Amino acid sequence: MRKGFLFILSFLFMTGLAFATDGDLDNPFFGIEQDNNKSAQELVDEASILFKDERPLDARSKLLKALEKDPANYEAQMLLGGYYLFHVGHYRLSIKYIKQSKKLFEQRYGQPPYSDEKLKNDHARILYLLSESRLNLDNYQGALDTLDEYSKYYYGLWYPGSRAWVLMKLGRLDEAIRIARLGILTGAEPGRTLNILGILLSMKGERQNSLKVFNEAISYELALGSTGQPATPLNNSGEVYREIFLEDKAEGSWLKAVSMPDGCEHVLPSLNLVILFNEQLRFERAKWAMDNFESCIVQFPLRNGEEHRAFVHLARGRIALHTGHIDKALEHLEEAMERQQWFGKIGTDVEDLQVASHISMAQALRAKNEELRTKLDLSPLERVASIKQRVYNALRAWWLMRRATQILTDQLNNIEDLYVRNTDSMIEYFSFGEALKSIPSSILEQRIDAEESSDQRKNAKLYYEAYLIENDLGSKEDIQKLDKLINATREKADEALKLHLLLLKLSLLETKSDTYRKTALLAYELAPASIRNKGFKLPIILHNFSSSEESKIQGGNFTAVKNSPYDIELHRSSGKFTLKFSANTKGVHYEAAGDSIESAIDALSEKVFTE
């Protein structure tokens, strides 16, 4: 009897199984459509597991199905809110779900406090998600209100860090520092909280303290081993070092950051390295930093999209500009300006990138104009096209500089980036004076006075003075002022500033003067491309040139002098012109040939003024 019963049972079971299997085969959407037979809560539970398995799309589909079945399921709303917040970055939709979840939760269970552990956890999670969503939507006060509500009933390890961050965004630095310190004392997510505290202290001007805190954060993250994320505090400490003009230490921090497993995919240390190397005119190293980053990010195909593209193009464009590859620079900078940057993660405003790319693009356009102006081998038609191009470039450069200044004054708190080496900014400070030129002198003077009164960094003053001189450049007295500044620049660390000052000085000098010769040679040694980019002439000794050929070469980027380490020798053979450029001390040697003297000069310029 009992056996018979078991047999019938097993028969029924097998038949059911067979039908089920059969159903699976017949229904190719089995995976999705079998969800029809599940309750909303079952689907929610499955979705939770799928999230843990890193299968967010599967989870999303289940949650949407759950909501179809039971729109009042607060858990599904909550999980979807979290999904759109963290996985998709669709904050507007995320907050809709989270608020709905909160409303449904409170309708069902009343107002807090709750005694049930699950309810407590869910409510706390909803509040956490709500505060994060609001933070991402820049509703800082809303985020703070939510955190206040959260703190009435709960405490989580993430709380101090988040609250400190929100308070920082609201400009309540002292309060934020207090909260972060309390958080560290209670052991709340030490790595993250220490990092936030370091940023807060740096913003407060307590840079030494901030460095100490960052070091603690680095040690903590390193101690976590493979799960640690030391690149972020390393990057931040590098930024503070650069801010206090300890460039070697900054370089060390960033190099260490990019060597970390979580750092090579992090664009900021690489970008910071490029800015630093450009400031020191170490363009080879700058290029290496970008190459290194790009070769690393290739490992993360899904992140190889838009997230960092604008930064990479900006960095590459600048390197190309400073090394004389103007067309390449224009291409990169155009991309940097066009690409929409995703800033959710790295806390840099879109305006910072806009200002930086606008200024660099304007500089590149002006450099292009100088290149076109000094091109000799042009047909009449090409000359007309070149003039048209130059007019367009000049207008665009003017417009971009104007827009950059406008963004700086209107959207970036009265040029908050004037604070030299502001960590949020991506400006190249050595040539920032070009953007400030359009501001009336008296206003700029007043603004810089205000900045200097609060900025005690000795090295920063050099930059401020340079901006003031550049703003009102023109008199002979400015030459002495510039000389004074040039002498005050530090070797290696301020090389780009020194070069910029030399170029400003050149603009005040007669091309035939001896001071011009010395200054131009100095500038050329620092960065060969700078001479052509700014439309100056390189002093050279000419050999074997007729007077007409001499006047032609002087129409380009060269000026004939009697004393220069550089000389150019002209060879003519069977209708071909060959120019040999050499430096008597440095072993530099370039050779260019052409069917006409003009084409030979153009070809030589391309070699002499690029790196």
Partner 1 sequence: MNITDSSKTLFITFTRTLFLAVFLFVANEISPLGTSPLLLIGLGALGVVAATRLSELKLRFAAFTSLIAISLAALYLAKLIAIEIAVSFTSNALFIHSIFQHLTLAVLVFYVGFVSTWLFWRYHHTLTIEILFLSSIGIILLSGHREYHLDSPQIINSLAWHLGFEPQTMFITCGAFIFLILLLYAYFSSSHRTRNLGRTQENVARQKQHTLTTLLAFAAIVFFTVITGKAVYNSYNIQKGLTTNGVGEAEGSGTSPLGFHSALGSTNQPAALVRLEEDYSQNPFTPMLYMREAALSEFNGHELVVAPSNYDADVANINPGQTYSTAENVNLKNRVSVTHSVYLLADQKKAFAIDYPVTIRQLKNPDPKRFKNSYRAYSLAPTYKLNQLRFSSVGNPKWTNEVLQHYTRQNPDSRYRDLALDLSKDAAAPVEKIMTIVNFLNKNAIYTLTPNHEVDPDKDPVEPFLFGDMRGYCVHFAHATVYMLRALGIPARIATGYLTDLSQARDGHILLRMSDRHAWAEAYLEGEGWVPFDTQPEQVESHADTQVDSGLLEELMSSLDPGEEILPKENLEEENETYDVGELYVPSYNDILIIVLFALLLLVAIKAYIRYSWVFTRSPQTRALHSYRAVLYRLIDLGFGRTSAETRAEHRTRISSSLASDPLELQRIVEKLKYQNPTKIKLKNTEIDQLRSDSLNLLSELSFSKRFIAFCNPTSLFAHIRRQR
Which residues sit at the interface with partner 1, rule CB under 8 A? 25, 28-29, 31-32, 54-58, 60-61, 64, 67-68, 71, 80, 84, 87-93, 95-97, 99-100, 134, 137-139, 142, 301-306, 338-340, 399, 402-403, 405-407, 409-410, 414-415, 439-440, 442-443, 446-447, 450
Distances in Å between the alpha carbon of 278 and those of 392, 435, 493?
A: 28, 18, 10
For residue 541, the 8-state DSSP code is E
DSSP 378-403: --HHHHHHHHHHHHHHHHHHHHHHHH
Closer to partner 1 by Cβ: residue 406 or 475: 406
| Shortest distance in whole angstroms from residue 398 CB to partner 1 | 12
Q: How many whole angstroms separate alpha carbon 343 and alpha carbon 311?
A: 11
Q: Are 135 and 164 in contact (CB under 8 A)?
A: no
- Which amino acid does the sequence have at 275? I
Cβ-based burial of 587 (10 A; exposed 0-12, middle 13-18, buried ≥19): exposed
Closer to partner 1 by Cβ: residue 27 or 551: 27
- Which amino acid does the sequence have at 79? L
| Shortest distance in whole angstroms from residue 28 CB to partner 1 | 4
Cβ neighbours for 26, distance < 8 A, ≥ 6 positions apart: none
Tokens of 331: 């291409």
Closer to partner 1 by Cβ: residue 66 or 258: 66
| Shortest distance in whole angstroms from residue 245 CB to partner 1 | 26
Closer to partner 1 by Cβ: residue 87 or 571: 87
The residue length of the chain stands at 611
| CA atoms within a 13 Å half-sphere pointing along the CA-CB vector of 123 | 24
Closer to partner 1 by Cβ: residue 361 or 597: 361
Exposure b/e, 203-213, CB count within 10 A at least 16 = b: beeebebbbeb
Cβ neighbours for 27, distance < 8 A, ≥ 6 positions apart: 33
Q: How many whole angstroms separate alpha carbon 52 and alpha carbon 67?
A: 20
Closer to partner 1 by Cβ: residue 234 or 336: 336
Name the helix (H) or strand (E) containing 323.
none
| Shortest distance in whole angstroms from residue 305 CB to partner 1 | 3
| Shortest distance in whole angstroms from residue 46 CB to partner 1 | 13
Closer to partner 1 by Cβ: residue 53 or 525: 53
| Shortest distance in whole angstroms from residue 480 CB to partner 1 | 26
Radius of gyration of the chain (CA): 32
Closer to partner 1 by Cβ: residue 87 or 172: 87
| Shortest distance in whole angstroms from residue 149 CB to partner 1 | 14
| Shortest distance in whole angstroms from residue 313 CB to partner 1 | 13
Closer to partner 1 by Cβ: residue 99 or 172: 99
| Shortest distance in whole angstroms from residue 56 CB to partner 1 | 7
